[in-house]
């Protein structure tokens, strides 16, 4: 692929900027203990991410990506998870290698960047702030900022509107089929990280425009904007 020169760039959060699985897995397993069910473990939690924390809890309660828990069980377990995660949002999570360097490069080139995540605002903003990433972004669109979440294109279209650019002039950088579907539907270019959470599937199978092993590779595919 030839280098592109987008007007704006949107970044996913979990699995793209930050590995949040250690904290999420801790909270899932403690929730399971409190409702008297078997713990799930980090490997399963890693495969269940990508559609927001509510869907993660649903998958954990049934141990599957396919079915749904009884509403009574969900009503009991979900508040437990939310309380746990409120106090364990960033204790074990880590920024992926190369992310800070990549974000700094984007800003030095004059690119406007924002974060678009399915994580609720009450968790997304503190996580970004605790890890020192919040101030890199012009704004953050969280999982409860719009009526729809990714893979629906609405959050990306909303971001483009806030940037005052056409969606077709933008780039999304994510890690999952959800990011790819949202970007394709909205008309943005889509780059994906190989290290993220894609339900245990190879991200190459979903044919993003570019796959990256590190943010330090961004300059190979994005044109210098200044000069």
User: Residue 46's Cα: distance from chain center in Å?
Assistant: 12
Burial 23-40 (b: 16+ CB within 10 A, else e): bbbbbbbebbeeeebebb
Are the beta carbons of 130 and 90 closer than 8 angstroms? yes
Side-chain-side CA neighbours of residue 165 (13 Å): 20
Residue 190: enclosing H or E segment and its boundaries? Answer: strand 189-193
d(CA 134, CA 225): 23
Selected catalytic residue, list 2, 12, 14, 205: 12
Instruction: Provide the pLDDT for residue 104.
Output: 97
Instruction: Provide the pLDDT for residue 51.
Output: 82
Instruction: Provide the pLDDT for residue 227.
Output: 55
Instruction: Provide the pLDDT for residue 114.
Output: 98
Catalytic-residue membership of 12: yes
Residue pLDDT tens, the chain, 227 long: 789 999 999 999 999 999 999 999 999 999 999 999 999 999 999 999 878 899 999 999 999 988 999 999 999 999 999 999 999 999 999 999 999 999 999 999 999 999 999 999 999 999 999 999 999 999 999 999 999 999 999 999 999 999 999 999 999 999 999 999 999 999 999 999 999 998 889 999 999 999 999 999 999 999 987 65
Instruction: Provide the pLDDT for residue 34.
Output: 98
Model-wide pTM > 0.75: yes
Burial 189-205 (b: 16+ CB within 10 A, else e): bbbbbebbbbeeeebee
| CA distance from start to end of the chain | 22
Q: How far, in Å, are 3, 187, 197 from residue 172 at the CA level? A: 15, 10, 16
d(CA 192, CA 214): 10
Q: Alpha-carbon dihedral of residues 19, 25, 27, 31, nearest 10 degrees?
A: 160
């Amino acid at each position: 692929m030839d280098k592109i020169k987008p007007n704006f760039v949107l970044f996913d959060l979990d699995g793209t900027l930050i590995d949040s699985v250690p904290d999420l897995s801790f909270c899932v397993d403690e929730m399971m203990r409190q409702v008297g069910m078997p713990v799930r473990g980090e490997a399963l939690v890693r495969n269940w991410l990508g559609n927001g924390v509510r869907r993660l809890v649903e998958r954990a309660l049934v141990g599957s990506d396919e079915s749904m828990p009884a509403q009574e069980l969900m009503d009991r377990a979900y508040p437990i998870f939310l309380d746990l995660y409120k106090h364990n949002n960033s204790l074990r999570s880590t920024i992926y290698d190369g992310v800070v360097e990549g974000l700094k490069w984007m800003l030095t080139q004059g690119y406007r960047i924002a974060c678009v995540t399915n994580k609720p605002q009450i968790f997304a903003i503190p996580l970004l702030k605790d890890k020192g990433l919040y101030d890199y972004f012009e704004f953050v669109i969280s999982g409860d900022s719009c009526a729809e979440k990714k893979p629906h294109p609405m959050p990306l279209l909303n971001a483009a509107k806030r940037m005052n650019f056409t969606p077709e002039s933008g780039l999304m950088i994510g890690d999952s089929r959800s990011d790819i579907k949202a970007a394709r539907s909205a008309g943005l270019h889509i780059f994906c990280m190989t290290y993220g959470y894609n339900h245990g599937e190879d991200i190459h199978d979903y044919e993003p425009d570019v796959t990256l092993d590190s943010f330090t590779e961004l300059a190979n595919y994005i044109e210098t904007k200044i000069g």
